[in-house]
Amino acid sequence: MNTPLLILIAGPYRSGTGGDPALIARNLERLEEAAAPIHRLGHVPMIGEWVALPVLRGLSDGAAGDEAGEDGDVMYETARRLLQHCDAVLRLPGASAGADKDVEIALQRGLPVYRSVDEIPAAVRAV
């Protein structure tokens, strides 16, 4: 592989949290823990929440909603749009309808879906 990939890291964000901000923050930390290893392999890590959360703040002045409401719609739509630019998906463990949808979209586009960072091939760096 010669070109770095833009890899979407997909996994639970709100799922299983009951809306608890501390549990949501921990889920985001788990997603972010995969970013450095992907970068070390020569790729560009991407997390949909990195894009969607500022959008939500701009649309709702930071008001928290529920996953089935506007927040969920913005999260899913942002991920759908983002996947039009991604080259692969890393699906982390855990129940998540949004992450499952990311995988479905990736497979429809013919993108690789990795289940572990260990499955991701390193990008060859130019010398």
Query: How do residues 4-57 score in pLDDT, each as one tens digit?
Result: 999 999 999 999 999 999 999 999 999 999 999 999 999 999 999 999 999 988
Alpha-carbon span 118 to 116, nearest angstrom: 5
User: Which residue segment(s) compose the domain that 119 sits in?
Assistant: 44-127
What are the counts of helices (DSSP H) followed by strands (DSSP E) for the chain?
Answer: 5, 4
| Total structural domains within the chain | 1
Residue of 21, 70, 29 lying closest to 49 (CA atoms): 29
Asked if residue 32 belongs to a domain, the reply is no
Query: How do residues 65-113 score in pLDDT, each as one tens digit?
Result: 444 456 778 889 999 999 999 999 999 999 999 999 999 999 999 999 9
What is the β-pairing status of strands 113-114 and 88-91?
parallel
Alpha-carbon span 107 to 50, nearest angstrom: 22
Asked if residue 50 belongs to a domain, the reply is yes
Asked if residue 15 belongs to a domain, the reply is no
